[in-house]
Structure 1
Amino acid sequence: MGDFSRLPTGHVARRVRRDDAARVLSSVSSPWTSAPLRERQAAMEKFQIVISPDVVDVLRHEHEQIRQLCIDVRKAGPGRRRQELAALGQTFYRHQLGERAVAHPAVRNSGADGNAIALGIQLKSEQLDRSLTEILRLGVEHADFDATFATLSDGLLAHAADQESDEFPLLRRHVSAQRLHMMAGAMNDIRIMALD
């Protein structure tokens, strides 16, 4: 395999890796290399999941990061709490950027309830975004910080749980594995462009 460090985005790196993986797999002698095309494609999709996460995997990992950052903010001492809260704000911002640009539009087109589910989750995330902005404005020294952050943290955890139970199954059921991987690359590209 080649040197992926010089490639401009994660999306391109995954495409190159898939191409390399397909070449390697096609040269390996095994019972499934002579199998019908559909079986080989199914095997490639399984292999792709190992070498690159799809959009659901990426979002789920970010939910874990947000959960951990909520814990870190609560446990942090006065000197460290501001940094942990800033890290939570940045992580949530990047997460929302990817969801709004890539995940929610795909959910809207997934199943009969997709539009209502995506809209409901997007409205909740906008409320959380406003609450997070407000708590960042107030600061960690504010008298109501602990109570306000507890409410925000509960909202963030509920939002992640709702997305995992409502949106993710729709994506897995109605969007092909290849497109889910492409969506992860597109989400990464959008976030990189937002940094410029």
Structure 2
Amino acid sequence: MTSTPAGERDVIDVLTADHRDVTALIAEIWTVQDPMIRRDLTDTAISELVRHAVAEEMYVYPAMRKHLPEGDKAVEHDVEEHKELEEAMKKLEDLDVSGVEFEEALRRLEEILTDHVQDEESDQFPEMRRRIPREELTELAGKVETAKKLAPTRPHPGAPNNELFHKLVGPGVGLVDRLRDKLTGRATR
């Protein structure tokens, strides 16, 4: 996959970096035995993944629908994967990090995420670089970064996975999530 010129990150660079960060966090969870550190790493991974997904749904998916020949189909597939990821994350939130159920749930999250990342990085991202003007990809990077700052930090499997919901209700949900995080001492970035 080709990248943008030095110093000019586009949305694909941002999303790919997110993939690397969350994948690294999950890999680290597997190696840590201390329950408090494991919980903090898990909560951070969940927070990062939720913000990433919300930003994609707000800005990337509309661009995919607009520019990619099979954009609607790709977005529908990705939204289904996001729903699966949210359910897996919600389950992880409530489990004891030292239990077998936690490891099963973490493995399930990792499987769904691996498939999602593979779809995006192998098929969708190269197609986006070919079909979406570079200026738009660069502009989308800024929108995605801003959206991640306001997005919820916890999974909400019952909420709609669409641009309108995230733009109208998402900032309020994000504010409540960040307040809950602060009050409970939950780890997020």
Aligned 1:26-175 pairs, distance under 5 A: 49-79=5-35, 80-175=37-132
C-alpha distance 143-56 of structure 1, shift in aligned 2 (>3 A): same
Distance apart, 1:172 and its partner CA: 0.6
* Max Rg structure: 1
| Root mean square deviation of aligned Cα | 1.8
Alignment check: 8 A CA contact 1:54 1:184 kept? yes
Runs (5+) with no aligned partner, structure 1: 1-45
Distance apart, 1:81 and its partner CA: 0.8
In structure 1, give the amino acid aligned to 2:102. F
Q: 4+ runs of 1 displaced by more than 4 Å?
A: none
Alignment check: 8 A CA contact 1:107 1:114 kept? yes
**In 1: Cα distance, 2:5 partner to 2:140 partner:** 13
Taking structure 1 as the reference length, the TM-score comes to 0.71
Taking structure 2 as the reference length, the TM-score comes to 0.73
Q: How many residues align?
A: 150
Residue aligned with 2:150, SS: helix
In structure 2, give the amino acid aligned to 1:158. D
Q: Which has the higher helix share?
A: 1
Runs (5+) with no aligned partner, structure 2: 152-173, 176-189
**In 1: Cα distance, 2:109 partner to 2:143 partner:** 29
In structure 2, give the amino acid aligned to 1:184. A
Residue aligned with 1:90, SS: helix
**In 2: Cα distance, 1:105 partner to 1:139 partner:** 38
